[in-house]
Amino acid sequence: MKEHLMRIWRFHEFGPIENLQLDEVPTPEPGADESLVELEYAALNPADKFLVNKMYPRPGKPPMAVGRDGSGRIVKPGNSGRFKEGDSVVILRSDIGVRRDGTLAEFVTVPEESLAPLPDGWSFEEGAAAPLVHLTAWRALVHQGEIHPGQTVLVTGSSGGVGTAAIQLAKAFGCRVFAMSRKEEKRKELLDLGADHALDSSDPGKMEEEAKAILGEERVHLVVENLGGPFLQTSINLSGEHGRILVIGLLAGLKSEIVLGQIIFKQTRIEGVQVGAWTAEEAQIAWAGIVEKLDASNQRPVIDQVFPFEEVQEAFTRLDEGPLGKVLVRVKD
């Protein structure tokens, strides 16, 4: 019988993201508890680059495709009985694109416990854009941060995928949100997205002064920290007593120098957030909460730009430039 081939972007050795190459390989066969999904869209994440760079713990072995987010249709359902051929689905956080082939491919096999139906009324683009960043933001704000309506939330690196997700969810919970960007045009877009204030993050010190001028005597209850580096100290300075800083990313630096006295006197809680820590069952529950909150507040995931499948390298370049929301790849013509 003739083998069915598919196109897949794989790296054959660790190194720069330019190591990704477009290969043709046999379409994979799903295991009993897995579905074969024909992808419509895949979304990029900075961690894809970190993984190819060998900066990610316990990566899969090359040749391998990256890509953790995706939406598509079931081609071969597994044995869970939850899906049938033709169902529209999204992929929740799993080992896909971390320890096994990811979504930068025409087809991918996915454990059915990590699939969810495409939410009613959502496009495939929106379905691909949301899971990883919204599950991360939900873990920071809701699961670990326990936010309440009326609290003040600071989101660093707020124009990115996690940042825009955090703004949307914090607003859906009735919080006051401080966002930021180094670009004026994006600060306007963050206000349009619902942020109450949009700070200039070109210089962390000046950003802190700008925030303090608005806050007066108040300070923030919770920080979603996507940047790290020098921004961690400004996040500590802007936090109130018993403030919580949820550390998600390190785009502005792997290391931070911080003043310990501030943490002691303010009793600041600084916690790491790891989206991979969700179990499949917890991720399903969190995802249902995310969809409910976004739908109830008339919000949809923010998409920056969509690239054709052949232009994956250009899509990664766009991610480096600092997008507003998610960068997607259209897999199916």
Q: Which positions lie near ligand NAP, rule CB under 6 A?
A: 45-47, 132-133, 136, 157, 159-163, 181-183, 186, 201, 226-227, 248-252, 273-275, 319, 322-323
CB of 209 to ligand NAP, least distance (A): 16
Which is nearer to ligand NAP, 73 or 139 (by Cβ)?
A: 139
Which is nearer to ligand NAP, 46 or 119 (by Cβ)?
A: 46
Q: At what angle do helices 161-172 and 184-193 cross, to 10 degrees?
A: 30
The angle subtended at Cα 117 by Cα 56 and Cα 105, nearest 5°, is 45
CB of 223 to ligand NAP, least distance (A): 13
Which is nearer to ligand NAP, 97 or 157 (by Cβ)?
A: 157
* Element containing residue 68 per DSSP (H, E): none
Please say whether the beta carbons of 71 and 38 come within 8 A.
no
Q: 32 has which bridge partners? A: none
CB of 240 to ligand NAP, least distance (A): 23
Which is nearer to ligand NAP, 116 or 140 (by Cβ)?
A: 140
| CB-based closest residue to ligand NAP | 160
- In the three-class reduction of DSSP (H, G, I as helix; E, B as strand; rest coil), residue 259 is classed as coil
Which is nearer to ligand NAP, 55 or 214 (by Cβ)?
A: 55
> CA-CA distances (angstroms) from residue 49 to 146, 254, 319?
31, 15, 10
Which is nearer to ligand NAP, 35 or 136 (by Cβ)?
A: 136
- Long-range contacts made by residues 177-181, C-beta under 8 angstroms, separation at least 24? 177/152, 177/153, 178/152, 178/153, 178/154, 178/211, 178/214, 178/220, 179/155, 180/155, 180/156, 180/207, 181/322
Q: And the tokens for 161? A: 């995928």
In which residue are the tokens 């963050």 written? 190
CB of 29 to ligand NAP, least distance (A): 30
The CA dihedral of 307, 309, 311, 314, to the nearest 10 degrees, is 50
264: which DSSP letter? H
CB of 73 to ligand NAP, least distance (A): 26
CB of 120 to ligand NAP, least distance (A): 26
CB of 254 to ligand NAP, least distance (A): 10
Which is nearer to ligand NAP, 77 or 157 (by Cβ)?
A: 157
Which is nearer to ligand NAP, 74 or 246 (by Cβ)?
A: 246
> CA-CA distances (angstroms) from residue 102 to 92, 95, 197?
12, 8, 37
CA–CA gap between residue 184 and residue 123 (Å, rounded): 29
Please say whether the beta carbons of 91 and 131 come within 8 A.
yes
